[in-house]
């Protein structure tokens, strides 16, 4: 069964466009002059440690937190002047599951449909199709409190799709889920992308961002550090490969002599390279190392290099 086609508004290549966007809370600057755009039909990610400004940026896009200055347009409309029109074509999956515990799965969706004045017959049709889509049809009459965490997350996603949104905003969509539930959510997001729906998400799972996102930005200290396609970001900031060796003074001296790009992390030295095989052979001959691990560079390597390894609260 197919989902109904999403709502059509004026065709706009850039669904979201931000220029020098700033958000302040009194003396605190939460977002400091960021610029980015999201193209129609792509999956776009915001990455960054706690306090980087990701959620604040998402809230401004959702028209629930007014911008302080700069430019922010969604569907070609200013978020400060067209909140209702923008929200009409947007679906939101918050970080916390905020389902009504006093209602069944079906009742949660039926009541939510009333916010968009969806006629009852049409609402029932959409609910049926969405429950099939998120694989919850057999739970239709079950109270939401009886659902597992993964089922609740899928129901929140179904709820966000009730108004046939053109843009879906997801804040940590798979947080706390087991691998099976995470992969099911990933499959559903990929299906929505194929239908032309634009998806914007935040996540602390770097493998999730690398797998799903067509483009992303890494934020820290309220600014954007890098943006682009995941593989290109990795190549530009790390290289294609990583070599890991034990941390010994003589090895550090050897790496410095060879002008290698490396980082010391406790008992491990991480070497960034576009030619891990060559580096491995060179270090084996010149640095007398017994244990060398070579692997593919990941988005997590970039994230930790750019934002540091210090724990954020």
Rounded average pLDDT over 189-197: 94
Q: Which two tokens stand for residue 185?
A: 């959510």
Contact 58, 70 (CB under 8 A): no
- pLDDT above 80 (res 301): yes
Q: Rounded to whole angstroms, what are the CA distances from 108 to 111, 153, 312?
A: 6, 13, 36
Q: What is the pLDDT of residues 82-126, one digit of tens each?
A: 999 999 999 999 988 899 999 999 999 999 999 999 999 999 999
Least confident among 62-76, 171-185, 217-231: 171-185
- pLDDT above 90 (res 163): yes
Q: What's the pLDDT score for residue 289?
A: 67
Q: How confident is the model at residue 8 (pLDDT cuts 50, 70, 90)?
A: very low
| Distance, CA of 122 to chain centre | 31
More confidently predicted of 185 and 9:
185
Q: What is the pLDDT of residues 125-144, one digit of tens each?
A: 999 999 999 999 999 999 99
Q: What is the DSSP letter of 152?
A: H
Q: Which of 275, 221, 220, 215 is nearest to 243 (CA)?
A: 275
User: Is residue 217 located within the same domain as residue 250?
Assistant: no
Neighbours of 3 (CB within 10 A): 16
Which CATH number fits the domain that encloses residue 61?
Answer: 3.40.50.300
Q: What's the pLDDT score for residue 288?
A: 66
Q: Which two tokens stand for residue 288?
A: 């007398």
Q: How confident is the model at residue 285 (pLDDT cuts 50, 70, 90)?
A: confident
Q: What's the pLDDT score for residue 6?
A: 44
Q: What's the pLDDT score for residue 309?
A: 60
* C-alpha to C-alpha distance for 236 and 239, rounded to whole angstroms: 6
User: Is residue 105 located within the same domain as residue 215?
Assistant: yes
Q: What's the pLDDT score for residue 290?
A: 67
Q: What's the pLDDT score for residue 1?
A: 39
User: Is residue 264 located within the same domain as residue 137?
Assistant: no
Q: List alpha helices for 43-119, DSSP H.
A: 54-61, 83-88, 105-113
Q: What's the pLDDT score for residue 238?
A: 87
More confidently predicted of 240 and 168:
168
The reply to whether 41 falls in a domain is yes
User: Is residue 188 located within the same domain as residue 57?
Assistant: yes
Count of structural domains, the chain = 2
Q: Which of 84, 111, 85 is nearest to 98 (CA)?
A: 111
User: Is residue 45 located within the same domain as residue 181?
Assistant: yes
Whole-number percent of the chain with pLDDT over 70: 94
Q: How confident is the model at residue 261 (pLDDT cuts 50, 70, 90)?
A: confident
Q: Which of 130, 211, 203, 210 is nearest to 169 (CA)?
A: 203
Which CATH number fits the domain that encloses residue 285?
Answer: 3.30.70.260
| Distance, CA of 213 to chain centre | 7
Instruction: Give me the residue label for tokens 């954020």.
Output: 312
User: Is residue 193 located within the same domain as residue 251?
Assistant: no
- pLDDT above 50 (res 3): no
How confident is the prediction for the chain on average, in pLDDT?
89
- pLDDT above 50 (res 40): yes
Q: What's the pLDDT score for residue 4?
A: 43
3-state secondary structure of 10: coil
Q: Which of 120, 121, 140 is nearest to 130 (CA)?
A: 140
Q: What's the pLDDT score for residue 12?
A: 59
Range of the domain at 145: 14-234
The reply to whether 45 falls in a domain is yes
Q: Which of 248, 244, 233, 247 is nearest to 306 (CA)?
A: 233
Q: What's the pLDDT score for residue 102?
A: 92
């Amino acid at each position: 069964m197919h989902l109904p086609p999403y709502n059509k508004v004026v065709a706009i290549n850039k669904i979201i466009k931000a220029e020098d966007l700033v958000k302040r809370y009194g003396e605190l600057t939460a977002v400091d002059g960021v610029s980015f755009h999201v193209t129609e039909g792509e999956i776009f990610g915001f990455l960054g440690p706690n306090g980087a400004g990701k959620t604040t940026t998402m809230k401004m896009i959702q028209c629930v937190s007014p911008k302080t200055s700069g430019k922010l347009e969604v569907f070609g409309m200013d978020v400060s002047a067209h909140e209702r029109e923008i929200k009409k074509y947007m679906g939101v999956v918050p970080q916390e599951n905020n389902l009504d515990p006093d209602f069944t799965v079906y009742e949660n969706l039926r009541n939510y449909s009333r916010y968009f004045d969806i006629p009852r017959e049409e609402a029932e049709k959409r609910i049926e199709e969405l429950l099939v889509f998120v694989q919850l049809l057999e739970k239709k009459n079950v109270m939401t409190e009886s659902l597992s965490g993964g089922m609740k997350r899928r129901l929140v996603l179904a709820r966000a799709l009730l108004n046939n949104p053109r843009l879906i905003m997801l804040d940590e969509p798979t947080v706390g889920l087991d691998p099976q539930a995470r992969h099911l959510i990933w499959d559903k997001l990929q299906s929505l992308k194929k239908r032309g729906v634009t998806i914007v998400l935040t996540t602390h799972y770097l493998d999730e961002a690398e797998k799903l996102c067509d483009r992303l930005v890494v934020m820290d200290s309220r600014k954007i550090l890098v943006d682009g396609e995941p593989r290109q970001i990795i190549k530009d900031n790390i290289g294609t490969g990583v070599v890991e060796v034990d941390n010994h003074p003589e090895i550090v001296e050897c790496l410095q002599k060879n002008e290698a790009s490396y980082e010391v992390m406790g008992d491990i030295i991480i070497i960034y390279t576009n030619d891990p095989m060559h580096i491995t052979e060179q270090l084996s001959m010149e640095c007398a190392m017994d244990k060398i691990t070579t692997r593919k560079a990941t988005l997590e390597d970039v994230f930790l290099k750019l934002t540091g390894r210090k724990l954020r609260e």
